[in-house]
Amino acid sequence: MLIFYILVALLVAIVVLYQYLKRKISHHRPTYFPTSHTTPHPDAAGRVVVTCAGDSITHGNVSANYVDMLRRWFGASYFFYNAGVNSDLSYTLWGRLDAVIATQPQYLTVLIGTNDVNGTVSKASLARYREFKKIKPEITPNFEDYQQNMTQIVRRLKQETQAKIALLSLPIMGENLQNEANQKADKYSDFIKQLAQNEGVDYLPLRERMKAFLEAHPKKLKYEYDATTKLLYFSIIRHELLGHSWDKITMSHGMDLTPDNLHFNTRGAAMIASLVEKWLKTDTQ
């Protein structure tokens, strides 16, 4: 009987832990997160306003935070809104553009699509996006919807802001560049590049930079893409409960840029930040 009660207690503890972390992550919002009621923040007065729109990679609480890096690098002369939301797809970003537009940015970056791709290759992730109400139950992400959503996003941002806009290609999805997710992300990123050209906005080659790094540093991987959901949960538990850094978790999982195939350590986040930094400095100098 004692073993039975121990097992029950363990099961209850796991459920409670899961619900706690789920609520903490799903309800968290980054520093200077814009809402539909946002008016330009008083702290932004007299500063260059940059709004970074995207998913958890931009949100930065289950990943190293590249927006915080940019804040440190640029200091007091720039004001950064973080419009990233965990688990967002292009569908959900399109649905919350009012908040992005309300920031009245001078510069605006868009990094979205990792979850659109992930939803086509991972049934577990697709179920999670539906559970979190990121997409309706009847929607299954696909390339055609992504093309339409991104085109609508870019055109509305052009019409309703005065911002200079940059689209980033999708980051790597796992460090095996031959896996299905990365093959699809190549296709999505080709579209992003073409969309930027067609709409007259800037393009930042994030995917190209990350792929070049991995190709220059080949290694035998401990985990493939089918381990993503497990790695994601393990990484969050280790970071939130044990205080392990994303860098330490990445190293223990045998990877260079990502602890879980979807999110990034300091090195990966710095690749994103440095592209945005160069873009901003090139335009403002």
Query: What distances in angstroms separate CA 174 from CA 53, 138, 268, one per listed residue?
Result: 22, 28, 12
User: Mean pLDDT throughout 104-133?
Assistant: 95
User: Mean pLDDT throughout 174-185?
Assistant: 98
State the pLDDT confidence band at 28, using cuts at 50, 70 and 90: confident
Q: Per residue in 62-94, pLDDT tens?
A: 999 999 999 999 999 999 999 999 999 999 999
CA distance 66 to 264: 9
Q: Per residue in 221-276, pLDDT tens?
A: 999 999 999 999 999 999 988 999 999 999 999 999 999 999 999 999 999 999 99
Query: Structural domain boundaries of the chain?
Result: 28-218+266-284
pLDDT at 125 over 70: yes
Residue 169: DSSP 8-state: P
State the DSSP string of 132-152. Answer: TTSS-TT----HHHHHHHHHH
The pLDDT score that the predictor gives to residue 25 is: 61
Contact 169, 211 (CB under 8 A): no
State the DSSP string of 179-238. Answer: SHHHHHHHHHHHHHHHHHHHHT-EEE-HHHHHHHHHHHS----S--GGGHHHHHHHHHHH
Calculate ∠ Cα 200-203-206, nearest 5°: 170
Closest-CA residue to 117 (of 192, 215, 42)? 192
pLDDT at 15 over 60: no
State the DSSP string of 59-114. Answer: H-SSS--HHHHHHHHHGGGEEEEEEE-TT--HHHHHHTHHHHHHT--SEEEEE--H
Lowest mean pLDDT among 41-55, 138-152, 163-177, 215-229: 41-55
The pLDDT score that the predictor gives to residue 231 is: 96
The pLDDT score that the predictor gives to residue 13 is: 47
User: Mean pLDDT throughout 36-49?
Assistant: 81
% the chain with pLDDT above 70: 89
CA distance 187 to 91: 18
Phi first, then psi: give them for residue 37, nearest 5 degrees: -100, 10
Q: Which CATH class is domain 28-218+266-284?
A: alpha beta
| End-to-end CA separation in angstroms for the chain | 72
**pTM summary value:** 0.92
The pLDDT score that the predictor gives to residue 223 is: 97
